């Protein structure tokens, strides 16, 4: 593997691969967040969220939570990751679900071709050389197509809630899952996207409602957020 993937991050997610699809396991927060993320993306790509006929590239797909959700909506999904173990689990799960997802062990920098949409969820906070990574995503997006990113804002509140709270107090995530210094504000990310030819057209916060027991799109981008950027 080459490009912007970090070897320490690859090893970390290799170790989690076997329990990726356990909704109460170490990836429980992603399971809970996935309906919101994929629904938000689908609504912006097609009326009613029907993705039939659209080609989508999922970068940093892990064991396939988002890839499968998008494929079930009709998209033709190519999904890539640097974790060999996670991809093995992804392929096995997709075969059992009857979903024809094209899984590849490759960095976006090594791909050829363009897709209608490129999705990279909870990934940019784990890569090296973020501008190079974003440039690779832009290169894989057709003119007029869209890039979708979800990540964590670098704020005091995200340090308390997403780092200390999630990893050390409530143990929702394994310790060391995140490096708060690699979180990125919407302003910083938007500027970096403009540098590679992408224009942010929509953004929403993602907040957990303890009353409804689900994640909701909000105007609060202080911790988790998701955005859409167009390639002109």
- Which tokens hold the place of 135? 């440039």
* d(C-alpha 175, C-alpha 121), whole Å: 20
Half-sphere exposure of 215 (CA within 13 A, CB side): 21
For the chain, report the end-to-end CA distance as a whole number of angstroms.
Answer: 30
- Is 65 annotated for ligand binding? no
Taking the C-alpha atoms of residue 63 and residue 17, their distance in angstroms, rounded to an integer, is: 7
Kindly state the tokens that stand for 218.
């909000």
227 is in an annotated binding site: no
Distance between CA atoms of 207 and 220, rounded to whole angstroms? 8
Q: 36 a known binding residue?
A: no
In total, the chain counts a number of residues equal to: 232
For residue 37, say whether it is annotated as part of any ligand binding site: yes
Kind and range of the H or E element at 30? helix 28-45
Do 124 and 133 touch, CB atoms closer than 8 A? yes
Q: With contact defined as beta carbons under 8 Å apart, do 114 and 145 qualify?
A: yes
Q: Is 54 left (phi over 0), alpha (psi -120 to 50) or beta?
A: beta
Neighbours of 148 (CB within 10 A): 24
User: Annotated binding site, which residues?
Assistant: 37, 60, 81, 121
User: Annotated binding site for S-adenosyl-L-methionine, which residues?
Assistant: 37, 60, 81, 121
């Amino acid at each position: 593997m080459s490009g912007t993937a970090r070897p320490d991050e690859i090893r970390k997610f290799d170790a989690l691969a076997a329990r990726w699809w356990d909704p109460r396991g170490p990836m429980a927060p992603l399971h809970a967040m996935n309906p919101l993320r994929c629904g938000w993306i689908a609504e912006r790509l097609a009326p009613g969220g029907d993705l039939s006929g659209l080609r989508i590239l999922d970068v940093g797909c892990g064991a396939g939570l988002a890839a499968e959700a998008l494929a079930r909506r009709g998209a033709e999904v190519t999904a890539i990751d640097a974790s060999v173990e996670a991809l093995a689990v992804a392929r096995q799960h997709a075969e059992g679900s009857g979903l024809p997802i094209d899984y590849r062990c490759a960095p976006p920098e090594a791909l050829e071709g363009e897709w209608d949409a490129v999705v990279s969820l909870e990934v940019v906070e784990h890569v090296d050389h973020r501008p190079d990574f974003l440039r690779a995503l832009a290169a894989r997006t057709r003119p007029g197509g869209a890039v979708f990113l979800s990540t964590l804002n670098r704020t005091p509140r995200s340090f308390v809630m997403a780092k200390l709270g999630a990893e050390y107090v409530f143990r929702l995530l394994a310790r060391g899952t995140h490096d708060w210094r690699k979180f990125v504000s919407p302003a910083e990310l938007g500027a970096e996207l403009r540098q590679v030819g992408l224009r942010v057209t929509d953004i929403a916060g993602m907040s957990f409602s303890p009353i409804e027991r689900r994640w909701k799109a909000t105007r609060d981008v202080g911790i988790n957020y998701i955005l859409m950027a167009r390639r002109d």
